[in-house]
Each structure stands twice: as structure tokens, then as C-alpha cells.
Structure 1
């Protein structure tokens, strides 16, 4: 017997064809099976990139904003360092977006989920909380203790959010509570807007609440993932224009920050609208039954 095309199973008998199919299935299972904890997958390197971006963002804020303020070298925040830090976190969010997609397409590792939670804690927990704490120190309307308390609230919200994500099974396609990257970007958008500090801290506390709430947010898949990626790229462009001092850069930065806060607020508003609509529908149904 001559095997003319083993990949398409042309020229094989029934027994040989079945055996080859079994071998192919075994090979596919082996390729898709998680790697051992001693090996890192391609997705894991993206996850580690997310953690690196989070650390570098903290380093950039410390050296470019906090230390000059403490030493008296500068009385206004260094917009270049602030823009670099936020851009690094946006790149970290991009890595977080892609590592899940890559893990589903290629072989994942046994460390994937644990690495992802640890990286998210650095980039979307510690880093934004640190931003809030530094904002409380360098702001002219300084309320350091209250800022530190709100920063701790953000950190604890992310810790609880990540722990619940690992322990609670949700229906496919949704998150329970605002996703950590979205929460972190919203917190930082509030800091960049630099509103009156009490108002800003109240808004940041609201974001922390949304992260631990039971409101369902859609997962970034398909068109939503593409839209999220485009939004990250546009945000980086706005930050670059702001950092470079280009004409209209301040306006672009403010528009981007307001848009981020608006997007974060849309989900709970839509949930409230849906619940109100359901209650109104129930009342109308009861009235219709009573009339009949």
C-alpha cells in the first residue's frame, strides 16, 4: 500500500486511517495541553511584560514627580514622567489583553492564571494606588492622609477583585465587577484631570466600589477587543501630544480622561436602566393580568 498524502489521509485503508487520526488527535492534545510549571509559554512572556510595565510606571512617577517635589526641585508635576508612566500602564493593559488571546490560540502554561493575577496586582492595583498617594502628596490642596486611605481602598478592591475572579465561576463572556485594567485607567484619568481633591477622591472611591460590585461587564472579545485596542492606541497618542506640549495637547488629554470616566460609568447606568425597565415591565404585566 502506498501512502500518497498522509496529511489528508489519501491512499490509506480504514485501519490505517483510524490509527493516523488517533495519532493526530493525541498530537493536538499534547500541543494544546498546558506546559509544566517549569516552562513558560508565549502568553506568559506577555504577562511578565505587563508586570514590568507596572513596575516601570511606579519608578517613573517616583523619579519624575515625587522625588523632585520632595527635594524642592520642582513645584509642578513633570508631565513627561506622568505621561510615560500612564503610557507604560496602557502598554501593560495591551499585554493583558493579548496574553489571554494568545493563551487560547497557543499552548498555555500551568503558571498562566497565577502569573496573570500577580501581574495585574502590580500594574492595576499597586501602580494606580501609588498614583493616588503621590497625587495627595504633590497636590497644592494636599490631603495626604485621606489620599493614602483612598489609595489603600483601591489596592484592596483590586486584591478582592482578583481573588473573586479566581474563586467564582461566571457565565461565559462577562466579568463580575469592573475589570482591573479599566478600573486602573479610570483612577488614573481622574488623577490626570486634577479635580478638587475631595471630589476626585470621592470619584476614585466610587471606582473602587465598582470593581468589587456585582455589576456585570462584558469581556473584551471580538469587536470589543479591537475597540479596546484602538482606544489604548488613541489614548497613548493623546498622552504623547500632552507630554510634548503640542497645541491642543491639554485639550486632548482632558477629552481622553473624561471619555475614560464616561465609559466606566456607562455600565452601572445601563444596569440600572435595565432593572428599571424590568420592574416597569413586571408592573405592566400584572396590570394586564388584573384587567383580564
Structure 2
């Protein structure tokens, strides 16, 4: 019988896999260029949105939802953790650069976001199936916050580490986060695109605006966003 990959994957799945490639590339690039890595993370968010649009247009497959969940863990869970690791090691040292206990501490702090992203995805897949139940901050929102914060000029390792830890725990919070509706996705996509292609233009306007939007959604989305969509 075989896998029959070509028959069982849809065009939406192909977009999902592109997201995985870009997310992986961002993790690799982070070790050489954090600025570019942050832009690639935001590009992954854009590709993820395109994937959702394709799926809603009937181009999904039976394996699509699982592929999407796994890819999200890669692009918005593991990659942000690698990003945080590179930022933190710049001050405290990384593997082979510092004392063993310091290395363990740096790796532990950096890995928190990936660990909670995996937990949220596993719990969400197992226990929550309805569109009305979306507990915990989406890992894509956390990835947006970390990437836009860095592009906006928030680069201090301690601030990034603490922020990542808070966002990690937020992924398993009891608050329901809705998916952004059509009226929101378009404008957000434009701002995200601006942060990707011109992050330093007009005083870092695009990443700073996106950071504000993401912070507002983080704080107010569970309570106020439903009424507007």
C-alpha cells in the first residue's frame, strides 16, 4: 500500500511544509544572525496564515491538522527556544563556553518555551476539539511577540529570557484565545509583511506596531475579541 504521499497530501499541506522549512531555517540562522532569524519567524507566521486560508477553501487533507500541529511546534515552539538560547548565551555563555551549571541553566531557561509548546499542542489535540475551546496562548502569538520585540529593539538577554518564560507559561493558561477573524488577519498580515521586508524603516515602525497589536491581543483577546468578530 505504501505512504502514497502525493495522493494523500494537499496543496494546503505543501504550504504547511514550507512553514516547517522556513521555521527550521530561522532556528539555524539564529546562531549567525538573530535579526534575520526574527524576520524568518514572522515569515513563518505569514505562511501559517496562508495555510489556514487554503485549508478553509477545502484544500486540506486527513493528515493536514496533524501536520499543522507538528509544524507549529517546530516553527513556533522549538525555533523561538533556539532564538532565546542564542540571545541568552551572548551574555552568560552557551554549551562549551561557560561553567556546566551555567550551561544547564541557560539551556533550561531557553527550552521552557518549546516544552510548554509541546504540552499545549498535545493537550489541545487530545482534549479540545471544538472551535469554541482554545485554551492557552497560541504558540504563534508568543513567537510573534519574541520576534517583533527583538526587531523593535528589545534585545537585552534578561528581558528576552523573562519574557519567554512568561509566554511559555501563558501557553497553558486557562484563558480561551480565539483565532483572529478575516477582518483582523488582513491588516495584521500587512504589518507582519512590513516587519519582514523593512524592519528598520521609519524608526522600526512595522515591528513596533506589530508588537503593540500582539500585546493587546495577549492581554485583551480572551475577553474582548469575540464581540468584534
Q: TM-score range by the shorter chain?
A: 0.7 to 0.9
Shift of 1:40: 0.9
Given that 2:134 and 2:178 are in contact with CA atoms closer than 8 Å, whether structure 1 keeps it comes out as: yes
Looking at structure 2, the residues matched to 52 and 268 of structure 1 have their Cα atoms a distance apart, in angstroms, of 27
Looking at structure 2, the residues matched to 122 and 272 of structure 1 have their Cα atoms a distance apart, in angstroms, of 25
Write the mapping of 1:138-287 to structure 2, written as runs, cut at 5 A: 138-139=90-91, 145-169=104-128, 171-172=130-131, 175-192=134-151, 193-239=153-199, 242=200, 251-252=203-204, 256-267=206-217, 269-270=219-220
Aligned to 2:49: 97
Looking at structure 2, the residues matched to 87 and 265 of structure 1 have their Cα atoms a distance apart, in angstroms, of 18
Deviations 1:174-232 (A, max 9, x none): 63211111111212334453454333322221111111112222202210221221221
Structure 1's 158 and 85: CA in aligned 2 closer, same or farther, altered over 3 A? same
Given that 1:131 and 1:191 are in contact with CA atoms closer than 8 Å, whether structure 2 keeps it comes out as: no
Shift of 1:52: 0.4
Aligned to 1:40: 9
Uncovered stretches (5+) of structure 1, i.e. residues with no partner: 1-35, 66-80, 243-247, 275-292
Deviations 1:132-179 (A, max 9, x none): 111112237987544322211101111012112212336535632111
Looking at structure 1, the residues matched to 221 and 42 of structure 2 have their Cα atoms a distance apart, in angstroms, of 27
Given that 1:128 and 1:187 are in contact with CA atoms closer than 8 Å, whether structure 2 keeps it comes out as: yes
Looking at structure 2, the residues matched to 261 and 174 of structure 1 have their Cα atoms a distance apart, in angstroms, of 25
Shift of 1:96: 1.1
Given that 1:173 and 1:219 are in contact with CA atoms closer than 8 Å, whether structure 2 keeps it comes out as: no
Aligned to 1:127: 79
Given that 1:133 and 1:144 are in contact with CA atoms closer than 8 Å, whether structure 2 keeps it comes out as: no
Looking at structure 1, the residues matched to 140 and 155 of structure 2 have their Cα atoms a distance apart, in angstroms, of 22
Ranked by relative contact order (alpha carbons within 8 Å, sequence separation 6 or more), the top structure is: 2
TM-score, structure 2 as length reference = 0.78
SS at match of 1:175: coil
Given that 1:135 and 1:191 are in contact with CA atoms closer than 8 Å, whether structure 2 keeps it comes out as: no
Aligned to 1:108: 60
Given that 2:144 and 2:214 are in contact with CA atoms closer than 8 Å, whether structure 1 keeps it comes out as: no
**Number of residues paired by the alignment?**
212
